[in-house]
Chain A
Amino acid sequence: MTYLNKADLKVVGTRPIRPDGVDKVTGRAVFGADQALPGMLVGKLLRSTHAHAKIVSIDTSKALALKGVKAVVTSADFPDIPSEEAFVGEGPMNFRDLSRNVMARGKVLYHGHAVAAVAATTSEIADAALALIDVKYEVLPFVIDVEEAMKPGAPVLHNDLFTQGTTPQPTEPSNVAKRVQFALGDVDAAFKTADVIVEGRYTTEPVHQAYIEPHACVVSVGADGQAIIYSSSQGHFMVRAYCAKLLGMELSNIRAMPSEIGGGFGGKTLVYLEPVAMALSKQTGRPVKMVMTREDVFRATGPTSGGVIEVKLGAKKDGTIVAAEAILKFQAGAFPGSPVQPGCMTCFAMYDLKDVRIIGYDVVSNRPKVAAYRAPGAPISTFGTESAMDELALKLGMDPIELRLKNAAKDGTKAAYGPTLQNIGYIPTLQAAKAHPHYSAPLGKNQGRGVASGFWFNIGGESSGSVHVNEDGSVSIVTGSPDIGGSRASMAMMCAEVLGIPMEKVRPVVGDTATIGFTHLTGGSRVTFATGMAVTQAAEKVRDELKVRAAKIWDIPPEAVEWKDGMAVPAGANAGGFDPLSLADIAIKAAKTGGPIISEVSVNAQGAGPGFATHICDVEVDPETGFTTVLRYTAIQDVGRAIHPSYVEGQIQGGAAQGIGWALNEEYIYNAKGELDNPGFLDYRVPVASDMPMIEAVMIEVPNPRHPFGAKGVGEVPIVPPLAAVANAVRSATGLRMADLPISPPKLRAAFDAR
């Protein structure tokens, strides 16, 4: 059943207070580091002081001898697991690589790589113990930059890494893990028919998800091998799966409890601490708590790739793009698995192109292994392609929105990455941008305006949700999706809509791995779509059961009962003249009519509708200092159906802000020793409140018929356009094409001086 007619909706589309709101404004909400268990030990990690080195030996005896130290673990305490592709998190991961990322085995591959861990009675003793661990290293040459890492003769990180995706496969190991290609038509021939060609080379630096909550967990393993994990993650089923694999345990022996999560943005879709705390707890028989410092977070988790994007576009004089090509080189960090593939798949997906080719390279170097970050890969590649679109518009003398309209993907467009797009709302975002007062507002001196668009697939997948009618007619729902930004509200709203009751009657909780069916992690903009589908179906089953129960009470056939405004009513005069039965009326009689009224539904949701966005950005540049101020920002997005519009707007605004930070100031800065030089919020410069204007979120609703309420994922696509939108605005303000992010003041001032 679907609920696509907006006029019929009573709850969906309104803006109620989120169910977990009071806990979060009063300090009651329990996040990862807020958890405590009796007898708990403190676990801490020793991290590599080299960017690349062979571990010759680790002597833990002195640390173990220190009073208060209960255990020390190294890679020797973890199974050496074979190479196996994991489909657990978001983006590619290999169990063997993950194991070696969690605890270095044989080699350290980046500064900050974990080499040993201790559990002690106090934090001070743990610190003292770390200082007593003697690690002998044989220092190796290192490589940080992606193109340096690709060169012959570059220091090789993995002797068993042979480039995949090339024929023949090389016989020499290298840092190029994979080559991927997506193509339609005959690009080389098509470029010959172009009237105008633009070419450019664009680069981005690695940026961190920079969630404010550092990773944290408490793990307790009993003498019977039963483990319980409390941790902050984007998916406790993911935590369970990774821990089981990395420690050789059965899934049923691990219960993973979801703490509140203080931001993830993709960065909490894999594990760092949990397997280590598990190993320490196993050895000590006591609960072990591990909390990262901010410096740990920057040095050893995330970030997303930096990349090189070479773009070539060919167009007719009227703006029709006849050929498009992009070559992407992405840093994966110390292990293969950059988001270069989605980077390739997304960067031209806004356009209806017959002849297009995108080639990508996944390259390892001595940096922390990248983790997913909001629309993984797409902001990087799209920065290149949407900057190139701006150049093309300039060269053609065409309005940038007109150029995009001329080439926009629409229903029936075959995307270079394979599928034929349906029910998409890209063109409406462009039309809304063009009609928006922002687009025609006057600009002052040193001010400029840029536009850019973006695409993200959105995904579905496995989710579970249950709906319980309580004895008093109130309703509890349980899902397996950690609530990272208000999803409890949307779950409760969809359930309330189906049952015809006020949202406040529905209390949603996030269940642990033993209390709800398997649910893939919170990522890929999938929760409202897939978990929402499970909850909706569970609510429908409950509604059907309520009708059955009412029929029993009235002693009429179930078909003769209708559900209306939260009540069972006779389907018509023939059904009998019964007074309506409320949910509470039926619930109180549940014992007599068949027992508890509950339903749990698990789905593997398909048909997630892709997301499209178009952003307009105004900047003012100080030519003497190179400082860029974002003056005004409008983000227009097809959201399918906004279940809770405030939280949809919030996703759009937050994504745009992260993209603005990526464009202007955020970057990983390495020193000559291969150490990250800015592992803190002081010099890793995320936007602060005074940096930002209001961000106007404009929601276009082109419902997705594959979801009961028409929802599409909304969380990721808003980070895709801003990088180019800002750069295009700077181009408009200054005439300077800033092809290398971030557009930091020294870089922009140098560009002024070079002109």
Chain B
Amino acid sequence: MSKIHVTTTINGEPAEFLTEPQMSLLDILRDEMHLTGSKEGCGSGDCGACSVIMDGRVVCSCLVLGVEAEGKDITTIEGIANGEDLHPVQRKFLEHAALQCGFCTPGLIVATKALLDRNPDPTETEARYWLAGNLCRCTGYDKIIRAVMDAAAEMRGA
């Protein structure tokens, strides 16, 4: 089986790659596109470290085939900041010390951006359930949730 050619958009830029059918989007992002910000913590959709936004929805890139990226619009952690200007979610994660080792952080930031794009004023409970698929073993989630709520407030202009 020869490789399949895929044309897609990653972080606003047109992108092309060759993939074998079984390769996940995460494999493609990390090994072919050298976008290693998306992490593999489990490879089974249970940890959320590989979260990316595909056509407006946050998904685990380990549960998407590379070939399914054809014609899609994909945002990874590398595309969240606008050049040197951090996204408010990134800034609030730093201000609230919402990361320790930082391994789950890219996935959490991507998932949080997807939440706030959809629901600018989540309750703490909504934020906790939305992010339940993003495991963090370091923080106990306290500072993460505070960062999410504060980012939401800032983005609302509250």
Contacts and interface: CB of A to CB of B under 8 A. Distances in A.
Asked whether the complex places CB atoms of A and B closer than 8 A, the reply is yes
A682 B42 CA distance: 10
A211 interface: yes
Contacts of A646: 96-97, 143
Nearest to A485: B100
A656 interface: yes
A12 B134 CA distance: 32
Contact of A263 (B80, B90, B103): B103
A443 interface: no
B97 A294 contact: no
A17 B94 contact: yes
A658 interface: yes
Contacts of A681: 41-42, 44, 46-47, 135
B143 A210 contact: no
Interface stretch (B2-10, B66-74, B123-131): B123-131
B100 A650 contact: yes
B89 to A, nearest CB: 8
Contacts of B44: 294, 680-682
A33 B141 CA distance: 24
B153 interface: no
A27 B132 contact: no
B137 A690 contact: no
Interface residues on A, range: 35 or more
B63 interface: no
Interface residues of B, number: 55
A26 B145 contact: no
Nearest to A26: B81
A34 B38 CA distance: 10
Contacts of A657: 139-141
Contacts of A690: 125, 128-129, 131-132
B140 A212 contact: no
Contacts of B43: 293-294
Contacts of A485: 100-101, 138
A473 interface: no
Contacts of B101: 211-213, 260-264, 484-485
A26 B37 CA distance: 7
Interface string B74-94: 001110110000100010011
A74 B49 CA distance: 33
Given A21-B94, A27-B36, A692 B100 contact: no
B104 interface: yes
Contacts of A654: 100, 137-140
Nearest to A715: B100
A643 B44 CA distance: 38
Nearest to A209: B137
A385 to B, nearest CB: 24
Nearest to A35: B36
Interface string A158-191: 0000000000000000000000000000000000
Nearest to B36: A34
Interface in A291-315: 291, 293-294
12 contacts: A25-B90, A25-B106, A29-B102, A212-B47, A263-B100, A485-B101, A486-B97, A649-B143, A651-B100, A681-B135, A686-B135, A695-B142
Interface of A: 15, 17-18, 20-31, 33-34, 209-214, 260-265, 291, 293-294, 484-486, 644, 646-647, 649-651, 653-658, 680-682, 686-692, 694-695, 697
Instruction: List 9 A-B pairs, minimum CB-CB distance, nearest first.
Output: A27-B37, A262-B103, A657-B140, A24-B102, A646-B97, A681-B46, A485-B100, A27-B77, A653-B140
